[in-house]
Chain A
Amino acid sequence: MGAGINWTALAVFVFFFVLVTVMGFWASRWMAGPSHKGAHLDEWGLGGRNFGAWITWFLVGGDFYTAYTVIAVPALVYAVGAYGFFALPYTILVYPIVFLIMPKLWHAAHKAGHVTAADVVYGRYQSRPLEFAIALTGVVATMPYIALQLIGMEVVIRALGLSGELPLLAAFVILALYTYSAGLRAPALIAFVKDLMIYIVVLVAVVVVPAKLGGYGAVFDSARDVFANKGGATGLTLKPAQFLPFATLALGSAMAAFMYPHTLTGIFAAKDANTIRKNAVFLPAYTVLLGLIALLGFMAYAAGVKVQTNNDVVPALFNGLFPSWFAGFAFAAIAIGALVPAAVMSIGASNLFTRNFWKPYVNPNISNEGEAKVAKVVSLVVKLGALVFILFLPTQFALDLQLLGGVWILQTFPALVFGLFVGWFGARALLTGWAFGIVYGSWLAFADGIKPVHTFTLGGDRYSMYTGLIALAVNIVVAVLANLVLGKGSRPALRSA
């Protein structure tokens, strides 16, 4: 990447950035309608719980398929080939799971006015410790995720030729201000622009790039050659030792995906359960897009792109193959693609803080208006924390924490989901299972040097699996045993959901 500033690309980039900034501030009045209830956490944190199928599609698509995905998935595919493609089965398998679980969760939340996952858990089990565990996991797992979005933004800002931290800081202040004023409506509205831009970029890229490079056959051929020379665990197909890691990463990630506060926020903001079911049918459209984006990693080989860090693959490809104005458009799409999830994540984390830390432990008599106020301030603090993270700590630290975050958030699955289907588990058993899952999962990950997969040796054979899924298995086994030993405790009756 050249040291000079690409002025055409920068101008296009700035134009779109200003456009979404204006939209972000205007969003506070959008969709307010007759149901506008004034200052209330439902309004700021869930957009008035009134989003229909279309808005939910854009919002959930916008916060689930993040800017970091656009940068990191092709980077991984570029580095290791087929193995990086686990993102595809992951983002397919997530939808049957969403379809079966999330409408029930929505019902549970809607009836009682719950805003967060921890609210739902407290509502069912009446256990403050369990609620605290779920909320803490959510907040801690979200922070590095926000930091990753900033990394995505940093990568494209650098590709424009800008150096230093000032541009990132500016983008960040803007994001913080309009999230503060408009709440969830801002990312929901901006998601429309972001997704249209990303769709245009990817559709153009997957048509134009292979056309320039001699078709998909040639793209795969050049990737095959490179991997053959490179050797190791790379290639156009998987090595047998990668089968189990590939499958368990896909499954575990799919189970974890909608346990995150930001994806759940999108679910709780839906106006009814069928909105969620329809989205389970139509959201996979983004998965096609993701698969095509992943292929950019192979196209980089055909285009002869050379990069210092893998994360620069996509920007380098656009800078190399497209006119400046289109590269600027693409980078704007990716940067805006970082704003949407970063905003929703900070809102999700603020909702958790307000409802599950502030309300029970600091001010139990807080008014609805007070809740909204606390959440707004916390959203600023959360984003500031993520920024400090990126500016003062090595990038690797955010990546490692994000990986651990995935392992941790998966451990909230039993507490959040089991109660929707069976009434057998008690709060103490679930909390015990959660604690074992978190401790065992973290221990395995640290012992392996923060790697996503752990290798067991069983009778001389080696099996590698996603660490999060192993920890979840321990979590569930311990929860079942604890339930048998401790008894069900104050298990409330199973409510019809």
Chain B
Amino acid sequence: MRLLLSLPFIGLLWVPFYNRELPSLWGFPFFYWYQFAWVPLTSLLIWIVFRDGLKKGEE
């Protein structure tokens, strides 16, 4: 479960992958909206791991 938390690191530190302008979204070049998209995505991943921990009765 905790491995989910490595996804933002892979997604954001692999810079060549997102260092381009297209496809753009609402005028935002890809470089920008891709990084913005990781904000809610990271929140969601942390929440999933958090909920999983609660179920297992983590202190």
Contacts and interface: CB of A to CB of B under 8 A. Distances in A.
B8 A96 contact: yes
A273 B42 CA distance: 20
Contacts of B32: 85, 220, 291, 295
Nearest to B40: A284
A96 B4 CA distance: 10
Nearest to B53: A277
Main DSSP-derived SS at the B contact region = helix
A326 interface: no
A89 B27 contact: no
A215 interface: yes
Interface string A74-96: 00000000100100110011011
Given A96-B5, A288-B36, A243 B42 contact: no
Given A100-B2, A237-B21, A284-B40, A243 B16 contact: yes
A240 B17 CA distance: 11
Given A89-B12, A96-B8, A273-B59, A291 B35 contact: yes
A277 B48 CA distance: 11
A42 B24 CA distance: 50
B7 to A, nearest CB: 9
A243 B39 CA distance: 20
B31 A89 contact: no
Interface stretch (A139-147, A245-253, A257-265): A245-253
Interface string B3-43: 00110110011111001110010111101100110111011
B31 A216 contact: no
Interface string A95-107: 1100110000001
Contacts of B49: 99
A236 B43 CA distance: 26
A440 interface: no
A216 B9 contact: no
A238 interface: yes
Interface in A42-71: none
Contacts of B20: 237
Main DSSP-derived SS at the A contact region = helix
A281 B5 contact: no
B2 to A, nearest CB: 7
Interface in A242-294: 243-244, 246-247, 250-251, 273-274, 277-278, 280-282, 284-285, 287-288, 291
A219 interface: yes
Nearest to A248: B13
A273 B50 CA distance: 11
Contact of A92 (B12, B24, B28): B12
B39 A291 contact: yes
A217 interface: yes
B27 A95 contact: no
A215 B47 CA distance: 34
Interface in B42-58: 42-43, 45-47, 49-50, 53-54
A236 B13 contact: no
Contacts of B2: 100
B13 A217 contact: no
Contacts of A285: 43
A448 B32 CA distance: 30
A277 B46 CA distance: 8
Instruction: Return the 9 tightest CB-CB contacts between A and B, nearest first.
Output: A217-B27, A216-B27, A89-B12, A96-B5, A243-B15, A247-B13, A281-B47, A88-B35, A284-B43
Interface of A: 82, 85, 88-89, 92-93, 95-96, 99-100, 107, 215-220, 236-238, 240, 243-244, 246-247, 250-251, 273-274, 277-278, 280-282, 284-285, 287-288, 291, 295
Interface of B: 2, 5-6, 8-9, 12-16, 19-21, 24, 26-29, 31-32, 35-36, 38-40, 42-43, 45-47, 49-50, 53-54, 59
20 contacts: A88-B35, A88-B36, A88-B39, A92-B8, A92-B38, A92-B42, A96-B6, A96-B46, A215-B27, A216-B26, A217-B24, A220-B27, A220-B32, A237-B19, A238-B31, A244-B15, A246-B15, A280-B50, A288-B36, A295-B32
Given A96-B6, A274-B54, A284-B43, 12 more contacts: A89-B35, A92-B35, A95-B43, A99-B50, A216-B26, A217-B24, A217-B26, A220-B27, A220-B29, A237-B21, A243-B15, A250-B12
